[in-house]
Amino acid sequence: MLEKLYEYYKKIPPETWYEDKNLAHSHVFFNGIITQNVIMCFTEKILKILNSSDEITNKLAFGIGVELSQNIQIHSVERALDKNDQRIHGKGILLCEKFPSFLVLSAGNVIKKETVKFLDDKCKFINHLNHEQLREYYNMERRQSLITKRKGGNVGLIDMAKKSGNPLNIHFHTIDEKYSFFALGVRINS
């Protein structure tokens, strides 16, 4: 699905919640400006689709949904003014897919092409770490962010892999010589 996320990003009208009945297991897409309100709606829809009485799974899905949404809100190259809160936010696409034994949360946004190698290398590095190594790497990055006063701690990707217990799935689509589309998927076992 990550390979097709860019197609949906271009196909689905901006500022639209969309349920695609033609895709097996797909439940909800949002394409547009990722505001705090969109993040709240997305996480509510995740919990509704998940329909789980397991509080740990719900908390995990909620946290990863927030992290994916905030990555777009903060890091997307495409930015726009939200008419409601009068703030500029990143634009992108969010997707929640429910399968019988797991949930996949995905997000995609435009990035500068020069960022592709960094993200690819970082995700591959994260995917090769076991749980204990992820925990250590997470703590190291948090300490480093305190020293450098880096906003956000640069730990979102690590945190999603650590919490989900699954590798990060990534895909890059070249848009032109300056930009690429970055798609990230996280599987949550239910």
Per residue in 153-166, pLDDT tens? 579 999 999 999 99
Closest by Cα among 36, 37, 58 to 47: 58
For domain 2-112+169-189, the question of CATH label 3.30.565 is answered with yes
Q: Roughly what angle, to the nearest 10 degrees, separates helices 156-164 and 131-148?
A: 160
DSSP H/E element including 18: strand 16-18
pTM: 0.91
What one-character DSSP code corresponds to residue 151?
T
Between CA 84 and CA 37 the distance in angstroms is 10
Give the residue extent of every domain in the chain: 2-112+169-189
Per residue in 26-43, pLDDT tens? 688 899 999 999 999 999
Residue 82 backbone dihedrals phi, psi, to 5 degrees: -85, 125
Give me the tens of pLDDT residue by residue for the chain, a chain 190 residues long: 788 899 989 988 888 888 765 555 668 889 999 999 999 999 999 998 888 888 999 999 999 999 999 999 999 999 999 998 999 999 999 999 988 889 999 999 999 999 999 999 999 999 999 999 999 999 999 888 777 766 655 799 999 999 999 999 999 999 999 999 999 999 999 8
